[in-house]
Structure 1
Amino acid sequence: MTAEAAAEVIERLADVAGLSGDWSDLSLRRGFATVARAAGHDPLEIARAGGCADGSLVLPPAT
């Protein structure tokens, strides 16, 4: 499934659920990251699981 196809599915489901806003495949990644961080998972592992490449500016700096 392409990112565009996933975004279309998410938009349709949000409409059916009566949710307003701009929904995309990124909405899933943001939700995943939010829930994973709240559960205490490591930010670096969350970023990698979300598809961030090593060296990406969104990754936390190495400690």
Structure 2
Amino acid sequence: MKTSEIIEMTISEIEERLDAEKQELVRMNLNHHISPLENPMKIRQTRRNIARMLTILRQKQLNEK
């Protein structure tokens, strides 16, 4: 997910998407430990997406105050 896409989202949409991404990361990690994923780089991409969303979410929360 690109930064520009996240910026256009509302705070509640970001929070919902963040929960979904975190669940996806846990699922991918478990699956990767059982049997290797075809593309283990997806784990890194998901972690970076989560970090990106948390950063933008925090910026939006600070701008509201």
Give the TM-score, by structure 2 length. Answer: 0.30
Give the TM-score, by structure 1 length. Answer: 0.31
Bigger RCO (CA 8 Å, 6+ sep): 2
